[in-house]
């Protein structure tokens, strides 16, 4: 049985679309469940605040949902677009696009649930800080979404690039690697940024006077937590836009797939680890503002060391791309 | 397309190097983050000992880093030596 490009394209688009929304639903569901649990806890402490808590729960959940909506959009595009391609690379590109948004939505969904939960509990503790808490929650969970936006951008590039002049070997591995790199590396950064935003919301509700420093140190911590997702985006752009000589050998293709996998998986650990560091640092900067400088310094040093394995992964990925 | 043994071995080495470094980065990344989190907490509780705590954190992280460095070494061996 010989299948033509169009048939393979349909097979890849349908399985990619299924994986996109399948993976993409994991994170948002966990994150929103966490928020709802915290909101229930908060309402049980002070039932009179039920209306406010409910509103803030819904706002927080809506933000956490956005990553899953990205996945839904990509899944629908894959299901209902009429792709016409002459190159078999497109078959891998649509599959990779589905994987990329799906995997990329996991971290952002889980992460955005944390600050929303902390904001619900916080407004029961300090009702007069409700507005400030909501603002801080929105800033924090918006930053959590950036890695999933990176994954979405890579998916769109994958779907709408013209591959007709590219060699099948090794380009198919480059498109698969690009999707895995941006998608997997978004998991750690999303979860990590959520942890930071959670402690910032908690800090504002416990120490209303420390609001400014809580938001500032949250943004600093989140920015560093995002770096591994940015490395993942960088590697996937290099994979997509580099010109490869056509080759019949398997090794060059596996080098490109290896580079994508290396940066993608390698970005997960540092993202989560740096998030844990910044979470604790924000908590203690708020409690002990006199020592903010010292804690920030140690946080930055600790995050830099935690980042090192992410940088090793990037180095190996770059060697795989440019040296071997 | 004829599959040659040498080509297949090289392909496995490249894929193996990527997986070695990628998977090897997860543990140290999370572990060192936890060490740094506790160091920040400890400095928050007792700022006078900031120097000692940062030093201890760095030593602990260096030990936790070792498996990441093993992964890096194995990945480089796979790429350039084997």
Query: Which ipTM was obtained for this model?
Result: 0.95
* Contact between B33 and A303 using a beta-carbon 8 Å cutoff: yes
DSSP state of B45: H
Q: Does B26 touch chain A (CB under 8 A)?
A: yes
* Contact between A309 and B24 using a beta-carbon 8 Å cutoff: yes
* Contact between A268 and B26 using a beta-carbon 8 Å cutoff: yes
Q: How far is B62 from chain A (nearest CA, A)?
A: 8
* CB-based contacts of A60, cutoff 8 Å, min separation 6: A35, A112, A113, A115, A116, A117, A119, A120, A137, A141
Q: How far is B52 from chain A (nearest CA, A)?
A: 11
Q: Does B77 touch chain A (CB under 8 A)?
A: no
Evaluate if residue B3 carries a pLDDT over 80. Answer: no
Q: Does A268 touch chain B (CB under 8 A)?
A: yes
The number of angstroms, rounded, from the C-alpha of A13 to the middle of its chain's C-alpha atoms is 22
The string of pLDDT tens digits covering residues B41-68 is: 999 999 999 999 999 999 999 999 999 9
* CB-based contacts of A214, cutoff 8 Å, min separation 6: A136, A200, A203, A204, A207, A282, A285, A286
Q: Which residue ranges make up each domain of chain A?
A: 5-322
State the pLDDT at residue A248: 87
User: What's the Cα-to-Cα distance from B20 to each of A127, A292, A305, B76, rounded to whole Å?
Assistant: 50, 38, 19, 10
* Contact between B14 and A306 using a beta-carbon 8 Å cutoff: no
* CB-based contacts of A62, cutoff 8 Å, min separation 6: none
State the pLDDT at residue B1: 59
* Contact between B26 and A280 using a beta-carbon 8 Å cutoff: no
* Contact between A310 and B25 using a beta-carbon 8 Å cutoff: yes
Q: Does A67 touch chain B (CB under 8 A)?
A: no
State the pLDDT at residue B2: 65
Q: State how far the Cα of B59 lies from the Cα of B79, in Å rounded to an integer.
A: 30
- Split chain A (324 residues) into runs of 10 and give each run's mean pLDDT: 87 96 96 97 95 95 96 96 87 96 97 97 94 95 96 96 91 96 97 97 95 96 96 97 92 96 97 97 96 96 96 97 92
- The shortest CB-CB distance from B61 to any of A258, A261, A302 is to A302
Residues of chain B positioned with their CB less than 8 A from the CB of A266: 21-22, 24-26
What does pTM read for this prediction? 0.95
Fold (topology level) of A5-322: 1.20.120
State the pLDDT at residue A2: 78
* Closest-approach residue (CA) in chain B for A281: B40
């Amino acid at each position: 049985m010989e299948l033509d490009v169009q048939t393979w394209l349909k097979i890849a688009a349908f399985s990619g679309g299924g994986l996109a929304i399948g993976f993409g639903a994991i994170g948002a569901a966990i994150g929103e469940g966490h928020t709802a649990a915290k909101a229930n806890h908060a309402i049980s402490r002070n039932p009179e605040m039920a209306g406010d808590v409910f509103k803030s729960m819904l706002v927080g959940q809506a933000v956490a949902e956005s990553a899953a909506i990205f996945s839904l959009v990509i899944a629908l595009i894959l299901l209902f677009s009429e792709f016409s391609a002459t190159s078999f690379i497109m078959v891998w590109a649509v599959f990779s696009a589905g994987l990329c948004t799906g995997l990329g939505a996991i971290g952002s969904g889980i992460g955005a649930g944390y600050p929303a939960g902390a904001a619900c509990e916080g407004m029961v503790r300090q009702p007069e800080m409700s507005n400030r808490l909501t603002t801080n929650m929105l800033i924090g969970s918006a930053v959590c979404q950036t890695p999933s936006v990176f994954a979405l951008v890579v998916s769109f590039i994958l779907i709408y690039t013209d591959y007709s002049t590219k060699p099948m070997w090794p380009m198919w591995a480059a498109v698969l690697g690009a999707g895995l790199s941006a998608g997997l590396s978004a998991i750690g950064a999303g979860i990590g940024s959520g942890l930071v935003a959670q402690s910032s919301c908690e800090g504002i509700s416990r120490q209303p006077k420390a609001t400014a420093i809580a938001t500032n140190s949250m943004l600093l911590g989140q920015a560093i937590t995002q770096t591994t997702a940015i490395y993942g985006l960088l590697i996937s752009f290099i994979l997509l836009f580099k010109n490869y000589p056509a080759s019949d050998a398997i090794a060059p293709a596996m080098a490109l797939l290896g580079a994508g996998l290396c940066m993608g998986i390698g970005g997960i650990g540092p993202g989560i680890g740096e998030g844990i560091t910044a979470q604790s640092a924000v908590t203690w900067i708020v409690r002990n503002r006199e020592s903010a400088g010292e804690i920030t310094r140690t946080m930055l040093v600790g995050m830099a060391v935690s980042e090192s394995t992410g940088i090793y992964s990037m180095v190996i990925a770059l060697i795989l791309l440019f040296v071997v | 397309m004829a599959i040659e043994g040498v080509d297949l071995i090289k392909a496995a080495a490249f894929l193996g190097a990527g997986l070695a470094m990628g998977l090897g980065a997860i543990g140290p990344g999370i572990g060192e983050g936890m060490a740094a989190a506790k160091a920040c907490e400890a400095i928050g509780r007792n700022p006078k000992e900031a120097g000692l705590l940062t030093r201890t954190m760095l030593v602990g992280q260096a030990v936790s880093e070792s498996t990441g460095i093993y992964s890096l070494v194995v990945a480089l061996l796979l790429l350039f030596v084997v």
